[in-house]
Structure 1
Amino acid sequence: MEHPTNSRKKTNLTNDQRQSIYQMLLQQSVNGKLKSETTRDVATLFSVSTRTISRIWHDVKLQLQHGSVVDVSSKRANVIRRKRIQIDLTQVSQIPLRRRTTIRSLAKAINVSKTTMHRRIKEGVLRPHTNAIKPDLTDENKKARLVFCLSTVTRSLSNASPIFHDMFNVIHIDEKWFYLSKPSKRYYLVPNEDEPFRTCKSKKFITKVMFLAAVARPRYDSSGNEVFSGKIGIFPFTTLEPAKRSSKNRAAGTLVTKPILSVTKEVTRSWLIKKVLPAIRSIWPRDHTGPIFIQQDNAKPHIDVNDVEFNHEASKDGFDILLCFQPPNSPDLNVLDLGFFRAIQSLQEQEVLGSIDELISAVKSSFERMPSYELNKVFLTLQTCMKEIMKVRGGNNYKIPHIGKGKLERQGNLPLQIECDENLMYEALAYLAQ
């Protein structure tokens, strides 16, 4: 049976410790020999294995036999380690971006191993970056974006600097496809766990449903309690149709949920009138005065702001609800595209789904589970984006700024509105006047 001292974790002894071991062994040796208990006791004292003690004593005896001065210093300082391979960042920056999309291609371009490249990335010498394509903006698009951002800037009696509007009277609507499953999904498995096996006749046939979402900015009282969540609703574009034939799942004539795959102006108008408007009337804060604007993008299925049928329904029950368009090619000016849809989708994809009804239920559940304070943060992000848009004269070549909203919220300092520099506003107006 192996002695307990031999199973100790290996310890690198200092030169002073090695010298002390040598002196102790020398004092207890008899005619150049050691007793087994001596080696064991010294090993226990210094928390090393008996082999380490024996090796030191063996080196001492060899040096004495050759008449050398006894030196028990560690030899680790003389070990030649593998030379670190440096990466010339100047050389990397000169390589075309199309050859810097994978670790393998970049490593080949600068003639280093893939492992070396991976280590440098892990150390932070190089940083990975995911790049998304943004809409191509015309000069007219940029001007429209700039005008839109300037129209939301106002002045407050309590604030000398211009600030962005609180946006409490604006409802953002947009459509999004939600899928029953993704063609490619990432899982994290333990070493011996079986890999999941998923099948489908074709990627084209993955079940999907389009949803119309409507959200406004949440409201809180003076104590920070929520009085309005801002979540108007999320409505699937589906119909109920009787099954044409019997199957193992249902009898003929049973009502089955079917997705509407082609959403037209007529369908959009119907959903706004029959679903969105009633939802607004039922939950909108009663103390609100003035018009309510429903902001939509410029997609073809969206109805015109002067649509007679919609305007007639929108003016009922004492409400003054109006449609308005956001600038063309500007998903960054809608809170749903800016972040809320992604948050809902991340929750929905955690569910195991097997039918359209389960997908609809999961999306609605994810919509309701999303905390209202997260929606409020997206409205603040929208204001910071407007500020950046003004800086780049209506363009979209900017990074979404981070102001530490979570930290500010924990400290109770989360602003209601973002300030806009007065010089920035005048510069934007001067640019439009040119």
Structure 2
Amino acid sequence: MTHDGMSSLQIAKQLRKVVSERTVRRWQHMYRSTDKIDLKTPAGRPRIIRTKSLIRKVTNRFIYKGRQSARKLANSLGISKGTIGRIIHEDLHLHAYRVIIEPNLNDDHKQRRVSFTYWVAFSIAKMTVFMLPLDTTLMNTKEQSRRPSFQKKLMVWLAASKNGLSLPIIFEPGETLTHENYIEIVLPHALSEGQRLLGDNFIYQQDNATPHKHKDSIAWIKKNFPQFIDENKWPPNSPDLNVLDYYVWDAIGHNMHWDKVKSYDSLIDEIKKGISRVPKNDLLRSVQNWSSRIFSILKTKGAYIK
């Protein structure tokens, strides 16, 4: 309690949860013991696990071995998954790849994934000027407001490239995607953003959604885009090959302030802010890893990349 009778919980609420109740209690104990609050004194016990030496080891693993599972990395170093998570997020300021809910892959799907790998190796990789695909998708935002009074979803179109994210298209609440509005709204925007981000030499990639595969959509794409990965090339059920699925959507949700979402307008505002807050270096790293993920399919014999 303070001199005016306020509890640590009341003080934490007064500070609008800038600090936790636990921190307030520590400050109170410090003040009672020393008649002052020393903010330079770190909380808790001195570090005996998350040391500079350990952080350096983790850094070197990423430098020399590339993308790794946090769980496997923790096991190889003999530390907990919680410790490796804090090192990745708090010390290295990295963002873990999201765990994807994987659709079932049958033998035909696996074979198409292997065939796609060979096509990339012998077609795309041999181009004189190689630009990574402009990954595109249309999907519902995966996260919802933490406020029970507003739990809605919006469809958002976004593209990702090595030079950054496109400007999004955020559809009206309840609006669905048809081949008509895909041709009228999405494709011209995708072409313009592809040229802005990558110039005139880029590859357009889309998933196999019905509006994407419509004959009129395909005709528009073939007429206007410089290069295109069609449905016969792109393997089905492959979210682990789409940078939007294995990194971008999760990064956007991670950088949104969900407590501010109270209406569709505030949801749209936070989606835009979340997109603008995606770290450029992490995005570039995720896009650059696309090639290595593709060739990992040969090791898994078409199965999902772990």
Matched, 1:141 2:86: no
1:267 to 158, 181, 195: 181
Is the Cα–Cα contact under 8 Å of residues 154 and 164 in structure 1 kept in the other structure? Answer: no
Q: Which residue in 1 is equivalent to 2:228?
A: 322
Which letter does structure 2 place at the counterpart of 1:140?
D
2:161 to 201, 216, 240: 216
Q: Which residue in 2 is equivalent to 1:232?
A: 166
Cα offsets for 1:127-166 (capped at 9, x unmatched): xxx98642211211111101111222269xxxxxx99999
Decide whether aligned partners of structure 1 residues 392 and 199 sit closer, same or farther in structure 2, where only a CA change above 3 A counts: closer
2:194 to 280, 292, 310: 280
Q: Which residue in 2 is equivalent to 1:339?
A: 247
Shift of 1:372: 2.0
1-structure distance, mates of 2:103, 2:265? 34
Cα offsets for 1:62-93 (capped at 9, x unmatched): xxxxxxxxxxxxxxxxxxxxxxxxxxxxxxxx
Shift of 1:346: 1.0
1-structure distance, mates of 2:183, 2:269? 24
Matched, 1:368 2:276: yes
Q: Which residue in 2 is equivalent to 1:59?
A: none
Shift of 1:273: 3.2
Is the Cα–Cα contact under 8 Å of residues 182 and 212 in structure 2 kept in the other structure? Answer: yes
Which letter does structure 2 place at the counterpart of 1:366?
G
Q: Which residue in 2 is equivalent to 1:295?
A: 205
RMSD: 3.5
1-structure distance, mates of 2:302, 2:229? 23
Q: Give the match's secondary structure for 2:103.
A: coil
2-structure distance, mates of 1:392, 1:179? 28
Decide whether aligned partners of structure 1 residues 232 and 321 sit closer, same or farther in structure 2, where only a CA change above 3 A counts: farther
Segments of structure 1 that go 5 or more residues without pairing to the other structure are: 1-122, 125-129, 156-161, 186-197, 219-229, 239-258, 400-434
Cα offsets for 1:411-434 (capped at 9, x unmatched): xxxxxxxxxxxxxxxxxxxxxxxx
Q: Give the match's secondary structure for 1:298.
A: coil
Structure with the larger RCO, 1 or 2 (CA within 8 Å, 6+ apart): 2
| Number of aligned positions between the proteins | 210
Segments of structure 2 that go 5 or more residues without pairing to the other structure are: 1-78, 81-97
Shift of 1:323: 5.2
Q: Give the match's secondary structure for 2:157.
A: strand
2-structure distance, mates of 1:391, 1:321? 28
1-structure distance, mates of 2:165, 2:211? 23
Cα offsets for 1:214-264 (capped at 9, x unmatched): 11122xxxxxxxxxxx322221112xxxxxxxxxxxxxxxxxxxx244222
Which letter does structure 2 place at the counterpart of 1:298?
N
Shift of 1:351: 5.2
Q: Higher strand fraction: Structure 1 or Structure 2? A: 1
Q: Give the match's secondary structure for 2:274.
A: helix
TM-score with structure 1 setting the length: 0.42
Which letter does structure 2 place at the counterpart of 1:324?
D
Which letter does structure 1 place at the counterpart of 2:119?
S
Q: Give the match's secondary structure for 1:176.
A: strand
Is the Cα–Cα contact under 8 Å of residues 176 and 211 in structure 1 kept in the other structure? Answer: yes
After the TM superposition, which segments of 4 or more aligned residues of structure 1 sit over 3 Å from their partners? 130-133, 162-167, 179-182, 303-306, 309-312
Is the Cα–Cα contact under 8 Å of residues 111 and 302 in structure 2 kept in the other structure? Answer: yes
Q: Give the match's secondary structure for 1:394.
A: coil
Decide whether aligned partners of structure 1 residues 303 and 374 sit closer, same or farther in structure 2, where only a CA change above 3 A counts: same
Q: Report which of the two structures shows the higher radius of gyration computed on alpha carbons.
A: 1
Is the Cα–Cα contact under 8 Å of residues 131 and 203 in structure 2 kept in the other structure? Answer: no
1-structure distance, mates of 2:186, 2:245? 19
Q: Give the match's secondary structure for 1:348.
A: coil
Is the Cα–Cα contact under 8 Å of residues 179 and 206 in structure 1 kept in the other structure? Answer: no
1-structure distance, mates of 2:197, 2:248? 20
Q: Higher helix fraction: Structure 1 or Structure 2? A: 2
Identity of aligned residues (%): 24
Decide whether aligned partners of structure 1 residues 266 and 329 sit closer, same or farther in structure 2, where only a CA change above 3 A counts: same
Which letter does structure 1 place at the counterpart of 2:247?
G
2-structure distance, mates of 1:339, 1:179? 13
2-structure distance, mates of 1:139, 1:215? 30
Decide whether aligned partners of structure 1 residues 323 and 299 sit closer, same or farther in structure 2, where only a CA change above 3 A counts: same
Q: Which residue in 1 is equivalent to 2:138?
A: 175
Which letter does structure 1 place at the counterpart of 2:117?
C
2-structure distance, mates of 1:299, 1:262? 12
Q: Which residue in 2 is equivalent to 1:389?
A: 297
2-structure distance, mates of 1:336, 1:165? 26
Shift of 1:349: 4.1
TM-score with structure 2 setting the length: 0.58
